[in-house]
Chain A
Amino acid sequence: MIVIGELINGMYKDVARAVANREADIIQHLALEQVKDGASMLDVNMGPYSKDPARDMRWLVETIQAVVEVPLSLDSTKADVIEEGLKITKKRAVINSTSADPERMDIIFGLAKRYNAQVIGLTMDKSGVPNSKASRLELAQTIVAKAIEYGINTEDLYLDPLLLPLNVAQPQAVEVLESIHEFRLLCNPAPQVIFGLSNLTQGIKSRSLINRTFLTMAIANGLTAVILDPLDKKLMDALITAELLLNKNIYCDSFLDAYRKK
């Protein structure tokens, strides 16, 4: 399971402030903590308050790369901001993200090709987030076709069926679960399937419980990557256990410890 740590995000006030004031130690601490607790990649998002997102992206990437070696997921709606990051990432980066809109895909897949990056494709377009498995699949197919057109290896494509908050769109959770399985059958080699787990529980109580329950269900359905808070220990324990039950790792009494020693 590819685990992308979500905590370096300018939506969080302390991160936004650290970026604005160039407080490297705060960012680096977050990077180190997330990797220590199991992140195999880190998301980098300067959030909506950034006054100079391109420069902030550059600073964030440099600051993070100074202390950890994991690949980065460059998270921005602006292609030029992503490109600033792509220029200096040491490990192969993930672009987070493109929608299924043709003009956006042309820009993002063009960048991916130029910088040998992987891409997260959101199954949404200008008309918004789909509300059924069928429409998610249609958009996923559009993204896969475009990626192939650009010569992107489909293993390097992460399809995101988009989780919606449970209290807003409860029926969508099961649609997402079913989409995961279908996405994996879209092409060969199969694409990665990913989602941002925290979206499921925006603004609701019992977040941790709901997140980890849903994550194990999604893993059983074929999820291969996830964006989450790796500092949530119970969540990571559930992830590790789900993979164990799917026979991805060999059991031993200290299986949680063993996984973390990887």
Chain B
Amino acid sequence: MAIELVKERYNNAINIVEIGAPGASMIKVGGETALPFLFKEGGMPYAPVTALEILDSEPEDWPDTLRKPFGDAIKDPVKWARAAVEKFGTKLLSVRLQSVHPDYGNRSSEESVSVLKAIAREVKVPLIVIGCGDDDKDNDLLPKASQALKGKNCLFGIAVQENYKTLTATCLADGHAIISESPIDVNIAKQVNILISDMGFDPKRIVMHTTMTALGYGMEYVYSIMERARLAAFMGDKMLSMPFILFVGAETWKVKEAKESGVRQGVNWEIATSVSMLQAGADILVVRHPDSAKAVTDYIKDMMKEESL
């Protein structure tokens, strides 16, 4: 007897967020109407994307494994950006303005923004721009960065419950999309989205970062939070209907299994984490090693073939 698949049907779709100026290079994410790759239950109009991540200065603490593919270019963020796009073919580039952080160079906002502007001039792919992670510094840095890229429709981050107003206002003024972050907590994820939208920011311009951990460090919990948010969205919760972004690279290359165990294991750790996050509903995966980016992109292509179900 043939076994009939039990199919779920939902009545709400994930928002579609556009990143980048209108044209061929614009990236669209979201739009799902079912859990990942369940094409018999619903659609995924836009394939998840990978983005390579670079910094605004030569990284101080990256392992050789990560530095090697970029060669000397890693010493100059503009050349590094060009390598990511031209040599490794990334369609979306994430720039972390880390050098402004007191622990990572403590540079001025102006210095960092001038690097960012040079990168934006040099590469034509859409940009994700991430602050340094220090609230005070970011509240000075990000408005300047946002203004410098006004009209380029970048994805800016990161807004958190305790610090979202400056970034929200500046993204609103300069026409950028925004990343809302919560500490692996679905209640706070929803709250940050409400706080941002209460400022008049279109919820359909928000991408969610529910925070994550690498393989082996509690990734299952991340998965369950993402799944819960996604199911609530499908049931109609507009304040959780945002696409997910995951900074897989930043998390993976922190853990010793990745950074201290030779070339392949680190890359494989990044790939395994990414692939798991795709199954949790990831829309944008920000990775650091070009080999991971390629493997994950190939995997997405395979999974997007509907017959693979």
* Chain A residues engaging chain B, CB cutoff 8 angstroms: 249-254, 257-258, 261-262
Across chains A and B, which 3 residue pairs bring their CB atoms closest together, nearest first?
A252-B190, A252-B191, A254-B194
Would you call B197 and A261 a contact (CB within 8 A)?
yes
Given known contacts A257-B198, A261-B197, is B191 in contact with A249 (CB within 8 Å)? Answer: no
B interface, size bucket? 10 to 19
B164 CB → nearest A CB, Å? 13
Interface residues in B107-148 (C-beta closer than 8 Å to A): none
* Chain B residues engaging chain A, CB cutoff 8 angstroms: 186-191, 194-195, 197-198, 203, 228-229, 232, 236-240
Bound-state CA distance A261–B189 (Å) is 15
Bound-state CA distance A251–B189 (Å) is 10
Question: Total number of A-B contacts with CB less than 8 angstroms?
Answer: 39
Bound-state CA distance A249–B188 (Å) is 14
Would you call A250 and B237 a contact (CB within 8 A)?
yes
Residues of A contacting B203 with CB < 8 Å?
261
Given known contacts A257-B194, A261-B194, A261-B197, is B187 in contact with A252 (CB within 8 Å)? Answer: yes
A253 CB → nearest B CB, Å? 5
* Shortest Cβ distance from A257 into B: residue: B194
Bound-state CA distance A262–B239 (Å) is 8
B137 CB → nearest A CB, Å? 27
B227 CB → nearest A CB, Å? 12
Residues of B contacting A261 with CB < 8 Å?
194, 197, 203, 238-239
A257 CB → nearest B CB, Å? 6
A69 CB → nearest B CB, Å? 16
Bound-state CA distance A57–B190 (Å) is 42
Bound-state CA distance A253–B190 (Å) is 9
A249's contact among B198, B229, B237, by CB below 8 Å, is which? B237
A153 CB → nearest B CB, Å? 15
Bound-state CA distance A27–B59 (Å) is 65
A1 CB → nearest B CB, Å? 12
Bound-state CA distance A250–B187 (Å) is 7
Residue of B190, B203, B229 with highest tally of chain A CB at under 10 A: B190
* Shortest Cβ distance from B233 into A: residue: A250
* Shortest Cβ distance from A253 into B: residue: B191
Residues of B contacting A253 with CB < 8 Å?
187, 191
Residues of B contacting A252 with CB < 8 Å?
187-191, 194, 239
B165 CB → nearest A CB, Å? 15
A76 CB → nearest B CB, Å? 30
Would you call B238 and A262 a contact (CB within 8 A)?
yes
Residue of A249, A250, A251, A254 with highest tally of chain B CB at under 10 A: A250
Residues of A contacting B228 with CB < 8 Å?
250
* Shortest Cβ distance from B191 into A: residue: A252
Bound-state CA distance A258–B189 (Å) is 12
Would you call B187 and A251 a contact (CB within 8 A)?
yes
Would you call B187 and A262 a contact (CB within 8 A)?
no
* Shortest Cβ distance from A258 into B: residue: B239
Given known contacts A257-B194, A261-B197, A261-B238, is B232 in contact with A250 (CB within 8 Å)? Answer: yes
Residues of B contacting A254 with CB < 8 Å?
191, 194-195, 198
Given known contacts A257-B198, A261-B197, is B229 in contact with A250 (CB within 8 Å)? Answer: yes
Bound-state CA distance A253–B236 (Å) is 18
